[in-house]
Amino acid sequence: SIDGDRLWDSLMEMAKIGKTAKDGVCRLALTDLDRESRDLFIDWCKAEGCSIRIDKMGNIFARREGRNPDLPPVVMGSHLDSQPTGGKYDGVYGVLSGLEVIRTLNEAKYETEAPLEVVCWTNEEGSRFAPAMVASGVFAKVFDLEYGHSRADVDGKTMGEELERIGYMGPDEATIDAHPMGAYFEAHIEQGPILEDEGKDIGIVTDAQGQRWYEIKFTGVEAHAGPTPMKTRKDALLGAARVVDLVNKIGLDRSPLACATVGMMQIHPNSRNVIPGEVFFTVDFRHPDDAVLADMDKALREGVEKIAKEIGLQTELEQIFYYAPVPFDKSCVDAVRMGAELGGFSAREIVSGAGHDACYLAQVCPTAMIFIPCVDGISHNEIEEVHKHWSDAGGQVLLHAVLAKADE
Ligand X SMILES: NC(=O)NCCC(=O)O
Residue with smaller CB distance to ligand X, 104 or 211: 211
Considering the complex, state which of residue 50 and residue 129 has its C-beta at the smaller distance from ligand X: 129
Q: Tell me the C-alpha distance between 50 and 300, whole Å.
A: 49
Q: Which among 96, 76, 95, 92 has a CA at the least distance from the CA of 27?
A: 92
Residues near 16 by beta carbon (within 8 Å), at least 6 away in sequence: none
- Classify 207 as helix, strand or coil: strand
Site for ligand X in 230-259 (CB under 6 A): none
Q: Is 226 in the site for ligand X (CB under 6 A)?
A: yes
Query: Measured from the CB atom, is 150 or 381 closer to ligand X?
Result: 381
Which of ligand X, a copy of itself, none is residue 292 near (CB under 5 to 8 Å by kind)? none
How many chain residues bind ligand X (CB under 6 A)? 13
- 123-182 binders of ligand X (CB under 6 A): 124-126, 132
Return the bridge partners of 235, or none.
none
Interaction partner, residue 109 (a copy of itself, ligand X, none; CB < 5-8 Å by kind): none
* Residue 314 interaction partner, one of a copy of itself, ligand X, none, beta carbon < 5-8 Å per kind: none
Is residue 372 within the footprint of ligand X (CB under 6 A)?
A: no
β-pairing, 314-323 with 223-224?
A: unpaired
Site pattern 315..354 for ligand X (x: CB under 6 A)? ---------------------------------------x
| Residue 103 beta carbon to a copy of itself: minimum distance, rounded to whole angstroms | 29
Q: Does 229 bind ligand X (CB under 6 A)?
A: no
d(CA 384, CA 83): 12
Of 391, 407, 361, nearest to 61 (Cα)? 361
Rounded CA separation 224/233 (Å): 10
Distance CA 163, CA 161 (A): 6
| List 34, 81, 90, 392, residue binding ligand X (CB under 6 A) | 90
Closest CA relative to residue 298, chosen from 281, 267, 319, 323: 319
Cβ-based nearer residue to ligand X, 175 or 228: 228
Residue 397: name the closest of 186, 209, 193 by CA.
186
**CB 287, min distance to ligand X, A:** 13
State the nearest-atom distance from the C-beta of 261 to a copy of itself, in Å.
4
Question: Who contacts 194 (Cβ-Cβ below 8 Å, separation ≥6)?
Answer: 203, 348, 350, 377
Kindly list the residues in this chain that would bind ligand X in the complex (CB under 6 A).
Answer: 90, 124-126, 132, 191, 224-226, 273, 354-356
